[in-house]
Amino acid sequence: MQAFLAFADHYSYVITILLMVGGLYIVVSRSNMVKKLVGLSIFQTSVYLLYLEPAKIVGGTAPILAPDFTVYSNPLPHVLILTAIVVGVGTLALGLALVVRIHEAYGTIDDDEIKPQDGG
C-alpha cells in the first residue's frame, strides 16, 4: 500500500520519465530518419511535462488579482514551455526538411542505406 501511494504521488513524473527514456531510445535504435525525429519529438515533449507538473496546482487559476480567487498557479513555466515548443517545432521542421533533401540526394531515408552509398 505504501509503495502504491508513493507511486500514485509521483504518477506524472513516472510517465514523464517513461516518455523521456522511450523517446531517446527510439532516436538511438531506429535508422529510419523520420522515426528518429519522432523519437526526438517525444523526448522533447516529455521535458515540457517536467516543467509543467510542478507548476500545476489543483484548483489554481491564473494569477489575477480578484477577491474570488485565492489559489494561483505559477504562469512562468507555461510561458517557458511555450518558448520551448516553438524551438521544438522549429527543430522538427528543419529536421524534416533535411530528410526531404536527403531523400532527393540518396533515394532513401534510412541511415544504414546511406552509409554504403558514400563508400562507408
Partner 1 sequence: MEALWSHLPALQIVIPLLGGVLVALVRRGSLAFALTLVVSWVLPVVSGLLLYQVLSTGPISYALGGWPPPWGIEYRVDVLNAFVLMLVSAIGAIIMPFARRSVALEVGERRSAWFYCMYLMCLAGLLGVAITGDAFNAFVFLEISSLSTYVLIALGRDRRALVAAFRYLIMGTIGATFYVIGVGLLYVLTGSLNMVDIAQRLAVAPPEQARAMVAALAFLTVGISLKLALFPLHSWLPGAYAYAPSWATVFLSATATKVAIYLLVRFLFSIFGGALDLRSLPVAEILIALSVAAMFIASFIAVYQSNLKRMLAYSSLAQIGYMMLGIGIANQAALTGGLVHLVNHAIMKAALFMAMGSLFYRVGTVRLTEIAGIGRKMPLTMGAFVVAGLGIIGTPGTAGFISKWYLAVGALDRGWWVLVFLLVASSLISVLYIGRVIEMAWFRPAADGLAEAKDPPLSMLLPLLLLAAATIYFGIDTRLTAGIAGEAAQFLLGGLR
User: Under the rule (CB under 8 A), what is the footprint of partner 1?
Assistant: 20, 24, 27, 33, 36, 40, 43-44, 47, 50-51, 54, 77, 80, 83-84, 87, 90-91, 94-95, 98-99, 101-102, 105-106, 114, 118
E strand or H helix that includes residue 43: helix 33-55
* Cα separation, 30 vs 25, whole angstroms: 8
CB of 6 to partner 1, least distance (A): 17
Cell digits of residue 9: 504521488
Of 61 and 117, CB closest to partner 1: 117
**Contact residues for 110 (Cβ-Cβ < 8 A; gap 6+):** 31, 32, 33
Of 68 and 106, CB closest to partner 1: 106
Of 67 and 83, CB closest to partner 1: 83
Query: Is 60 in a helix, a strand, or coil?
Result: coil
